[in-house]
Structure 1
Amino acid sequence: MSLARIASTLLLLASVGLPSRSALALDSTAVCTQPGMNVSWAECVTLVNLYNLTNGDQWFTRTGWGSADVASWHGVWVEPVSGVVWTLDLAGNNLQGILPTNLAQLPGLRNLDLSDNQLVGPIPSQLGQLTHLVSLRLGQNALTGTLPPQLGSLAQLVSLGLGDNELSGPIPTQLGQLAQLRHLYLYGNAFSGPLPATFAQLSQLEALWLDGNTLTGPLDVLASMPQLRSVILSNNAFSGTLSPAIGTLTQLEILVAGNNHLGGPLPACLGHASALHTLALFDNEFEGTLPPQWGHLGNLQTLSLGGNRLRGGLPTSYGAMPLAVLGLNNNELDADAQGDVLIPPALQAWFASIATTYIRFQSRGPILFQDGFDTDPCGL
């Protein structure tokens, strides 16, 4: 017998008795017509279709799937009075494949979480028909294409998580219609272009994470989001200045906008943002002196301003900051012969209490201690 014939025979024998992937699929007719089925035909078929299209036989957990009691299916929550599927949560469950377009046949869906899987392909525009959605989370997959503008129709949406995918193109202006939106996570994609002017309508937004894209243009819309608490914009190509109006964001706790092209003076008015505990504006093009008014930031724990064009000395007012991390490296601040930032005598004890400091590689000479406050445009 030839080697080719032997190899062919062994391959045939190896396949005998092994179920194919199609043999492990669920039969929607058999599942959805069985006695005791407690959701509608359309919703049952939609769920079975999702199972089959995402290799349900390979899911980490598929308990209950295929039984008559859909409420017992892993990741599915059925509202007991109406018998309508309200929640589909299969996060981190090894779903593989594309998102089916007929997910819109779950019209009562409030929460859809398919994050942290191996989903590919585009986000179906039909998801915009799920008008009861409160939370949509598809992050940590390999989704591609542009963001469907139809998502702007999700009027009740509070949380939109699409981070760590391969989405591209501009952010649709229609997202500015999401008046209830509080959390917007688009980080780790390839979105480009400026922030839509319609974002000024997102007055309820609390978290805006856009880091790791190629977004451009100014950040003026931030001042129109009074509820902002967490803003992460690093590793983009944003430009322009930080508006003094950013000081009106009194709820702001985290502002990270490193590695962009932001410039101009540091806004003294940011000293109004008394809730800030993390401020990171490293690797930009800011110039001028450190605002003494920032000494009012009595909750600030991390201040990272390395890699800019800042000059002058360290304001003694900063001694009121409870810093754990201070980064001022690679600027043009007043320095000693070794290139370290000169610390005013009044700040020696404060500086020694900071756990982590980056102050090296300055390129300027004589010290200029800033005691007190300059003329304050913010009235602090």
Structure 2
Amino acid sequence: MSLARIASTLLLLASVGLPSRSALALDSTAVCTQPGMNVSWAECVTLVNLYNLTNGDQWFTRTGWGSADVASWHGVWVEPVSGVVWTLDLAGNNLQGILPTNLAQLPGLRNLDLSDNQLVGPIPSQLGQLTHLVSLRLGQNALTGTLPPQLGSLAQLVSLGLGDNELSGPIPTQLGQLAQLRHLYLYGNAFSGPLPATFAQLSQLEALWLDGNALTGPLDVLASMPQLRSVILSNNAFSGTLSPAIGTLTQLEILVAGNNHLGGPLPACLGHASALHTLALFDNEFEGTLPPQWGHLGHLQTLSLGGNRLRGGLPTSYGAMPLAMLGLNNNELDADAQGDVLIPPALQAWFASIATTYIRFQSRGPILFQDGFDTDPCGL
């Protein structure tokens, strides 16, 4: 082996630390110099290091690893013409250990999926050098530390999945540079602070799942994401009101923001989000009356508003909603002697058709049924 190749090997190993050798560890020199090896030296050594650093001999499946045909290695896809590794998918394969920093030595990588394993330690900032990445999925591990701002350099990234880890700190403003991003999954971590103002640049975003963190501040930035379809923000500390502009999100199908500190009136303009089928704003601080305009939500199946400070009556316009679940418990809505929400006579048949209802523990204020639709205040 040439001196240059020896030096290259030492450099690659130094970038990740020398892995502990087990009886079934792969020897990078033996593997990567064998006749017929069909990827570059650097890419081969990088893959072998990943195998050794994550206890490859304990993987659930390791078919082909160590052979000359890297395309036959389980979870590895090689572009046949260029011989470049395009995809590394070892999800749910019992990888244990740290993420090696030299994964950046796979410069043509489009898809990296190491989710649902037992990876620990920080996310290497060097992953920001994988500028061809379209999908990065590291969720369901035990990764710690802060989110590297260098990930904002992944200009082609469409999907970023980091849910169910132990990541903390603020969400880097640099993520707002990911102009192609459609799916952002950061749920189940310990991220804190407000949503970056730069998120207003994520105009292609379709799914935003941030539930189960310690995020704070307002949600005004949502109105700048016209392609949103699924927004899950529950179990944080978001505050402020919901902007009337949220009614412009005509693609929105799911909005779940329960267990926060959101308040003020429920936005009547949300009645223009005609694709909504799930709306859950339970356990917040919303007050005022139920907007009659929400009766326009002709696809709504789940409406969960329990645990707020809502008052008044149930609008008769809600009879147009095809609900399967209605949650209005623990508010200050008009109630009967048993503490259940009063159902207007015109809604009795509709209410009886709803499979699941939560309407207990209301105040017993005056009966005030709201008929029809009020004048639309949204101007939309």
Q: What's the secondary structure of 1:227's corresponding residue?
A: coil
The 1:263–1:16 alpha-carbon spacing in structure 2 relative to 1, beyond 3 Å, is closer
In structure 2, the CA distance between the partners of 1:4 and 1:114, relative to structure 1 (3 Å rule), is closer
**Measured at CA, do residues 15 and 137 of structure 1 come closer, stay the same or move farther in structure 2, by a change above 3 Å?**
closer
State the Cα distance separating 1:351 from its structure 2 match: 0.2
The CA deviation at 1:4 is: 52
Taking a change above 3 Å as real, the CA distance of residues 109 and 310 of structure 1, as seen in their structure-2 partners, is same
Q: Is the 8 A contact 1:106 1:130 kept in 2?
A: yes
Write out aligned runs for 1:81-230 (5 A).
81-230=81-230
In the TM superposition, what is the alpha-carbon distance from 1:99 to its structure 2 partner? Answer: 0.1
Change beyond 3 A, Cα 1:14–1:311:
closer
Cα deviation for residue 363 of structure 1 reads 1.3
| CA shift in 2, pair 1:91/1:304, >3 Å | same
Equivalenced residues, count: 380
347 and 193 in structure 1: CA distance in 2 versus 1, 3 angstrom threshold:
same
Deviation at 1:367, TM superposition (A): 1.2
CA apart distance, 1:378: 1.7
Structure 1 length-normalised TM: 0.94
Structure 1's 189 and 19: CA in aligned 2 closer, same or farther, altered over 3 A? Answer: closer
Deviates more, 1:4-13 or 1:205-214: 4-13
| Change in CA separation of 1:201 and 1:322 when aligned onto 2, cut-off 3 Å | same
Q: How far is the alpha carbon of 1:373 from its aligned partner? A: 2.0
Instruction: Flag the 1:10–1:151 CA change in 2: closer, same or farther, 3 A.
Output: closer
Look up the SS of the partner of 2:11 in the other structure: helix
Is there any run of 5+ residues in structure 1 with no aligned partner, and where?
Answer: none
Q: Percent identity?
A: 99
Q: CA deviation at 1:24?
A: 1.3
Whether the aligned pair in 2 keeps the contact of 1:336 and 1:365 (CA below 8 Å) is: no
* 2:314/2:369 contact within 8 Å kept: yes
8 Å Cα contact 2:143-2:167 kept in structure 1: yes
Q: Deviations over 1:243-292 (max 9, x none)?
A: 00000000000000000000000000000000000000000000000000
- 1:316-362 CA-to-partner distances (Å, cap 9, x unmatched) read 00000000000000000000011000000000000000000000000
Q: CA deviation at 1:364?
A: 2.8
Contact 1:244 1:268 in 2 (8 A): yes
CA contact 2:71–2:78 (8 Å) conserved in 1: yes
Shift of 1:198: 0.1
Flag the 1:29–1:379 CA change in 2: closer, same or farther, 3 A. Answer: same
Listed one character per residue, the Cα deviations across residues 205-254 of structure 1 (whole Å, up to 9, x for unaligned) are 00000000000000000000000000000000000000000000000000
CA distance in 1, matches of 2:11, 2:166: 38
CA spacing shift, 1:53–1:333, aligned 2, 3 Å: same
CA shift in 2, pair 1:37/1:17, >3 Å: closer
Which structure has the larger Rg over C-alpha atoms?
1
Could you tell me whether the CA contact under 8 Å between 2:160 and 2:185 is conserved in 1? yes
* Contact 2:226–2:251 under 8 Å retained in 1: yes
Query: Retained in 1: the 8 A contact 2:259–2:282?
Result: yes
What's the C-alpha RMSD, in Å, of the aligned pairs?
8.4
Distance in structure 2 (CA, Å) of the matches to 1:236 and 1:129 = 32
Contact (CA 8 Å) 1:232, 1:256: kept in 2 or not?
yes
CA distance 1:16–1:313, change in 2 (3 Å): closer
Q: In structure 2, do the counterparts of structure 1 residues 345 and 233 end up closer, same or farther at CA, with 3 Å as the change threshold?
A: same
In structure 2, the CA distance between the partners of 1:328 and 1:76, relative to structure 1 (3 Å rule), is same
Distance, in Å, in 1 between the alignment partners of 2:266 and 2:15 is: 68
Measured after TM superposition, the shift of residue 372 of structure 1 is 1.3
CA 16–146 in structure 1, closer or farther in 2 if over 3 Å, else same: closer
